[in-house]
Structure 1
Amino acid sequence: MNLTADNVFNIDKPIGWTSFDVVKKVRGITHIKKVGHAGTLDPFATGVLLVLTGSQTKLQTTFTDLRKVYVATVSLGSQTDTGDYTGSVISEDTVPNMTRAELESNFGSFVGDIFQVPPMFSAKKVNGQTLYKLARKGRTVEREPHPISIFSIELIDMQLPNFTMKVHCGKGTYIRTLAEDIAVSVGTVGHLTALRRLAIGEFVVEDAESITTFEERWKSCAA
């Protein structure tokens, strides 16, 4: 392990941790003052989180701009205020009886260069105000659709009311919103029950380290 202050660490973010929790932990382990990350993951999500230290933090935008791969599980029939299972149910609807082919046929309209409205529960700012902070106060503001790129959506499994998909996408894509939009396209509502980031560019989850393993290796190399 490179013990210099300038690093890119591929960390497998554990469920329940914020991206900043990981940054704070890495800072505490390494005692490197300048630590950041490239690409926020929601607390309920897991997978590849690139933690940047030292001069590598200047390349944050470069890493954030890389293509990403996710695997996401969607539950149809209920919508939550956060777009995932951690939120409160705000809407329910029947789940249509459909085949895999019928579900997959709806994916095509979301592949390519499209526009997506960011969710209220997100770190995006509108008029200088962070959306999730407004959402926690029960406020909703109008959000402008922003351009995103989705390169492919693959159906991995379907056992209604749930299905799992693999998404290759560009920066700024909200998988929670994609899940909700797909649910609407098949005539119902939905939310995410699981989300795992498999890759950011060439950084893949198979090479990612858990926080525990990272700490053990760092201390071993520093000894």
Structure 2
Amino acid sequence: MKLMQGILLINKDKGFTSHDVVALCRKHLGLKKIGHTGTLDPMARGVLPILVGKATKISNYLMGQDKVYEGTMQFGYRTDTLDADGEILEVSPNKIFTEKDLLEAMKLFTGKIDQVPPMYSAIKIKGKKLYEYARQGQEVERKTRQVEIYSFDLLDLSGDQISFRVSCSSGTYIRSLVDDLARELKSLATLVDLNRVQVGNFSLDQCHSILDLKEGKLSAGDLIPMDQGLDLQKIEVQEDYFNALMFGQSVPCSQSLDKEFKVYCKNQFVGIGISPYPGFIRINKCLLEV
């Protein structure tokens, strides 16, 4: 029987937390060792990579991958969460912006920018998550974080709503981006819809539905091999060194090496390797499916 380990791509529906999806996977796949690769807000939908079995060991690598989102923002009000799930804090007179107004403002938020994380987020300050402070009515000073917006495109303009597409680095808060854009336009806005359409090389058309999961239609064959989720250099090692690799020993390698790389031997993915000293490699994280 094929082992249940790898990456399961789920198209998360609105209303589910990332933790909800993990719990459903544990229940319907009958496994305990399952995790996700970073929180997707309950009001958001889209690509949520679920790590099964040994694939949980590569969560740090997938969390840092770039993302692509498509969303809709509505001008005229701002909520405490900066999205449609929150309570309205402020309203502003209805302003109708031209396409030119929007495109000029959006250009200012392309490239490397500084963001202040929203109060309703899972970032920890003094051992406590920001949303826990927010629920107690406390505003906490947050440091700005640099993120990168590779592209910020206008998809549609309809009255007081615009639809957009954002390609960005990991750690970008689209809610904050929407809020900052509105402020630049001397207005207020709230994120009312968000769809994550890509995480790294994984896209929405590769995802399975939560309904398929609940109906027991997913199996080991639906999992993507974990090495496909790693954007690392690929190194092939001679078969003679297989046992040495598996025992954590260093073996010779004549290739030019990155800091970390995917190691293959005997036509199979062994794990993530490092070079302890020039001309040699060893397995730092064994991920062989055995």
Query: Which TM bucket (shorter chain)?
Result: over 0.9
Aligned to 1:217: 217
Structure with higher Rg: it is 2
Cα distance, 1:220 vs structure 2: 10
| Aligned-partner SS, 1:110 | coil
Cα distance, 1:41 vs structure 2: 0.7
Aligned AA (1:68): K
Cα distance, 1:3 vs structure 2: 5.0
Cα distance, 1:84 vs structure 2: 0.7
Aligned to 1:183: 182
Q: Compare relative contact order (CA 8 Å, sep 6+) and give the higher one, 1 or 2.
A: 1
Alpha-carbon distance between aligned partners in 1 of 2:199 and 2:8, rounded to the nearest angstrom: 12
| Aligned-partner SS, 2:218 | helix
Aligned to 2:160: 161
Deviations 1:66-122 (A, max 9, x none): 110001100101000011111111011123332112111101111111110000000
Aligned AA (1:29): H
| Aligned-partner SS, 1:156 | strand
Residues 76, 160 of structure 1: 8 Å contact kept:
no
| Aligned-partner SS, 1:61 | helix
Structure 1 segments unaligned to the other structure (5+ residues): none
Stretch moving more, 62-71 or 91-100 = 91-100
Deviations 1:15-62 (A, max 9, x none): 100000000000111122111101211101100000001111111111
Alpha-carbon distance between aligned partners in 2 of 1:25 and 1:4, rounded to the nearest angstrom: 19
Cα distance, 1:171 vs structure 2: 0.6
Residues 4, 220 of structure 2: 8 Å contact kept:
no
Alpha-carbon distance between aligned partners in 2 of 1:23 and 1:168, rounded to the nearest angstrom: 26
Structure 2 segments unaligned to the other structure (5+ residues): 222-290
Aligned AA (1:11): I
Alpha-carbon distance between aligned partners in 2 of 1:103 and 1:3, rounded to the nearest angstrom: 52
Alpha-carbon distance between aligned partners in 2 of 1:98 and 1:27, rounded to the nearest angstrom: 47
| Aligned-partner SS, 1:217 | coil
Stretch moving more, 150-159 or 211-220 = 211-220
Alpha-carbon distance between aligned partners in 2 of 1:68 and 1:214, rounded to the nearest angstrom: 24
Alpha-carbon distance between aligned partners in 1 of 2:186 and 2:46, rounded to the nearest angstrom: 31
Aligned AA (1:218): L
With the length of structure 2 as denominator, give the TM-score of the two structures: 0.73
Alpha-carbon distance between aligned partners in 2 of 1:41 and 1:67, rounded to the nearest angstrom: 14
Aligned to 1:13: 12
Alpha-carbon distance between aligned partners in 2 of 1:119 and 1:101, rounded to the nearest angstrom: 28
RMSD: 1.5
Residues 96, 186 of structure 1: 8 Å contact kept:
no
* Percent identity over paired residues: 36
Alpha-carbon distance between aligned partners in 1 of 2:93 and 2:168, rounded to the nearest angstrom: 29
Residues 37, 60 of structure 1: 8 Å contact kept:
yes
| Aligned-partner SS, 1:163 | strand
Aligned to 2:27: 28
